[in-house]
Structure 1
């Protein structure tokens, strides 16, 4: 499998280890959200995990559901999965007859957990990142959002540009077409993105890449003055905050703040 360095576009036919050794030697940054098994890269951890569950691409040692083949990065994600799909409480080692029963159990004094729900359709989204994905992907039946519409919605309540970038030179989503014959690279026998030269083994893989936010304009940024990292989706920004990598907010603060970000009645302000 062919891997590439995102900083210098060098290809590594020997595989991931050769690419990683190159990054260590040159100081180039390896992909942050790369599949454990193949060379697919994603914009955030949510998409990476979704891909690895669909393709069974998890690496050895990843936490696994005791009832099915679902895997995740952390044990906490597995616990949430087992609650939602298997009515199972890992902390108590107890399985319930239905979802309503376990939800009542989790609301009892034994458990004091915070759950993020969509403010429009009330579906359980798990985390603030999950809610952001729910809205940006148009999954909410009450509010027909997508990446563009959610940005306009948030931008209207963020006049100080605390988390949203300015609308200068922004005209909405870009669309890209594919010429299969022109996209095919006979030298490496793969389809090549003409924008970033990333290689895909199938035309569908290239199409998914071009339909993703990868080559869209960055719409958001971290409000930490010492960070200011930019993001193409709200979910990527929220995931960054949840990771506590720039230490501007704690994970639980992000869960409590997401409701203010998507609440039409409130202006976005510094938490």
Structure 2
């Protein structure tokens, strides 16, 4: 079965792959983004590209890094969760978020008032064992997933795959195990909670507060950030 052809409506040429038509569009400047000079495959794709946040400035600064910035609050939060900074894990971000004065609106089990590092038990991550081998794969003891290598199982166990949901969306009550997932949900506007600009403003207050807490250890939060209001 032959591959479907793609037609450039600007010059009636046909191509057998998206890569070919994109190369053609670059050469002939069809559907070219004037900001980043990337070629799209159609006028609709170009409009979607222009309407996306791909050209957002990197204005979200990590207070634990030197000069590192991110395009969105969720990207910065994901960075903080990633383990890039020694001694800071996704559990610390959750604990700090739960302790914020605004936690009552988003935390499933809020602990408002004081930030403290999570319980040592919370930081104990399951490690893959050779005994997980079933004869065909390494089986996760917590779910039906199986992996071809012990390292792959280890990465799965160290991930957030089996974390409990700790945060919820104050508008639609969707639950999330990661702070970055909640922030990304709010950014997407899928539940219409607030405008993107309002989300950025409020997310900035939370991310900066959490970052400072992580910098300084146990900190009393009275007056650190204003109460979160996600109403336009």
Query: What range is the shorter-chain TM-score in?
Result: 0.5 to 0.7
Pair 119,193 (structure 1): closer, same or farther in 2 beyond 3 Å: same
Paired residues of 2:97 and 2:103 also in contact (CA < 8 A): no
Paired residues of 1:128 and 1:254 also in contact (CA < 8 A): no
1:14 maps to which residue? none
Tell me, in whole angstroms, the C-alpha distance in 1 between the residues paired with 2:207 and 2:56.
24
Paired residues of 2:125 and 2:158 also in contact (CA < 8 A): yes
Pair 191,249 (structure 1): closer, same or farther in 2 beyond 3 Å: farther
Paired residues of 1:163 and 1:221 also in contact (CA < 8 A): yes
Paired residues of 2:58 and 2:70 also in contact (CA < 8 A): no
1:178 maps to which residue? 128
Tell me which structure has the larger Cα radius of gyration. 2
Structure 2: where are the runs of 5+ without partners? 1-16, 24-32, 39-54, 112-118, 210-223
Tell me, in whole angstroms, the C-alpha distance in 2 between the residues paired with 1:185 and 1:231.
32
Tell me, in whole angstroms, the C-alpha distance in 1 between the residues paired with 2:56 and 2:177.
34
2:174 maps to which residue? 229
The number of aligned residues is 164
Paired residues of 2:140 and 2:146 also in contact (CA < 8 A): yes
Q: Does 1:210 find its partner at 2:160? A: no
Q: Does 1:117 find its partner at 2:67? A: no
Tell me, in whole angstroms, the C-alpha distance in 2 between the residues paired with 1:140 and 1:199.
30
- Show CA shifts across 1:105-125 (max 9, x none): xxxxxx985732224545211
| TM-score scaled by length of structure 2 | 0.58
Tell me whether 192-201 or 144-153 shows the greater mean CA deviation.
144-153
Structure 1: where are the runs of 5+ without partners? 1-59, 67-88, 95-110
Compare relative contact order (CA 8 Å, sep 6+) and give the higher one, 1 or 2.
Answer: 2
| TM-score scaled by length of structure 1 | 0.51
- Show CA shifts across 1:13-61 (max 9, x none): xxxxxxxxxxxxxxxxxxxxxxxxxxxxxxxxxxxxxxxxxxxxxxx96
Tell me, in whole angstroms, the C-alpha distance in 2 between the residues paired with 1:257 and 1:163.
13
User: What is the Cα-based RMSD across aligned positions, in Å?
Assistant: 3.3
Shift of 1:149: 1.8
Paired residues of 2:74 and 2:184 also in contact (CA < 8 A): yes
Tell me whether 214-223 or 157-166 shows the greater mean CA deviation.
157-166
Paired residues of 1:117 and 1:126 also in contact (CA < 8 A): no
